[in-house]
Amino acid sequence: MTKRRVVVTGLGAVTPVGNNAETAWQNVINGVSGIATMTRLNPDDFPAKVVGELKDFQVEEFIDKRDARKMDRFTQYAVAASLMAVRDAGLKITEENSHRVGVWIGSGIGGMETFETQFETYLQKGYRRVSPFFVPMMIPDMASGQVSITLGARGVNSCTVTACATGTNSIGDAFKVIQRGDADVMVTGGAEAPITRMSLAGFCANKALSTNPDPKTACRPFDLNRDGFIMGEGAGIVILEELEHALKRGAKIYAEIVGYGATGDAYHITAPAPAGEGGARAMKAAIEDGGLKPEDIDYINAHGTSTEYNDKFETAAIKEVFGDHAYKLAVSSTKSMTGHLLGAAGGVEAIFTVLAIHHSILPPTINYETPDPDCDLDYVPNKARKQEIKAAISNSLGFGGHNATLVFKKYE
């Protein structure tokens, strides 16, 4: 069976560095950080003080207020980003084509805020006062469900939940749906709203978060002085489309998606496998799936969380896969500016990877000051760089040992 070619035709995002894909991209290539002292929660209650919150996001611009009240914030973000992506793609969903347009959007932890507030209501007032929308607001698949209702997309509708690999796995899974012929268009990515009391408490308890109170230096992927990740929120959605379908309607094409690799560490619930063994296999599988060789890759948008083990082991995995070429390619972590959006990270980072190819610009890793002997690649330190990028990969690694890699290339 011939694999159908799949291209990226639309982008939509709400992130700590901008409430649309273009603003977020401009801020990222200018090294502007969206990380700040948290305002949604009291920073005095937690050892981690800084986060990547959305700024000036107005849900009413996208969703009727009454409908928005029946959605957790992660779903609101997904709907907003999806509407922007569909508009950017110039895609019209009609009665005739709706059964060939699918949605595949994941969330790592779903409606945590809804769970917290409704549990308080239950404790104080009993079960009768719990919202009838409690379960539909909380479950992670509701981003996909609500987006499909909003858009009228009646094709394949699914949700991947693989912790911090969620967004990348979702896009990869959606890519395969089109490639094998089960849909012509997929609205796909990840959404997360994790800046809640219990989420923050849980990540503080397992010592994954940075306790550096200075927003300017707290997130420093690959730097010797990194001390944990910074939690962020938002959504990143891409429109994937079968090539002939896109050409027929005269769509603009940002890039082609050619490869997807997904593996399991079978090692530990939170720590990556030694030397990033599982991540290395995901990269190899994705490159092979795309019909490319390691030396064809020019850029890697790294998972790059700013935790001790992730950055060291991801670097080791890159060296394992690319050999000498590891020192010739560029690697950067845009999390240095957005923070870590958990299940939404892969969606947002896929957008940055696609735009890096489209505009021939390598986004930087900011706050890179003190080299780590274990992290000795070209991390595009502190300033973006003009460079033609023919092929690039985006990596995501999640709790539970999930590893996912996407390969994009310049459309020709």
As annotated, the active-site residues are 164, 303, 340
> Does the structure show a pLDDT above 80 at 155?
yes
Cβ burial, residue 248 (10 Å; 0-12/13-18/19+): exposed
Phi, psi (degrees; rounded to nearest 5) at 55: -120, 130
- Residue 2: pLDDT band (50, 70, 90) is confident
Q: Tell me, what's the pLDDT at 392?
A: 99
Which domains are assigned to the chain? 7-400 (3.40.47.10)
> Does the structure show a pLDDT above 90 at 47?
yes
Question: What is the spatial distance between Cα 244 and Cα 127, in angstroms, rounded to a whole number?
Answer: 53
> Does the structure show a pLDDT above 80 at 242?
yes
Q: How much of the chain exceeds pLDDT 70, in percent?
A: 100
The alpha-helical segments, DSSP class H, found in 39-102 are: 65-68, 73-89
Q: Tell me, what's the pLDDT at 325?
A: 98
Phi, psi (degrees; rounded to nearest 5) at 140: -65, -25
- Residue 348: pLDDT band (50, 70, 90) is very high
Cβ burial, residue 249 (10 Å; 0-12/13-18/19+): middle
pLDDT in tens, 350-381: 999 999 999 999 999 999 999 999 999 999 99
Question: How many Å separate Cα 203 from the centre of its chain?
Answer: 18
Question: What is the spatial distance between Cα 388 and Cα 296, in angstroms, rounded to a whole number?
Answer: 12
pLDDT in tens, 120-143: 999 999 999 999 999 999 999 999
| Mean pLDDT rounded to a whole number for the chain | 97
| Mean pLDDT calculated for residue range 144-172 | 98
Residue 50: beta bridge partners? 37
Q: Which residue has the tokens 């719990």?
A: 130
| Mean pLDDT calculated for residue range 156-166 | 98
- The counts of H helices and E strands in the chain are 13, 14
Evaluate whether 385 touches 299 at the Cβ level (below 8 Å).
no
Question: What is the spatial distance between Cα 71 and Cα 115, in angstroms, rounded to a whole number?
Answer: 12
pLDDT in tens, 270-311: 999 999 999 999 999 999 999 999 999 999 999 999 999 999
> Does the structure show a pLDDT above 90 at 1?
no
Question: What is the spatial distance between Cα 354 and Cα 71, in angstroms, rounded to a whole number?
Answer: 29
Q: How much of the chain exceeds pLDDT 90, in percent?
A: 98
| Mean pLDDT calculated for residue range 70-74 | 98
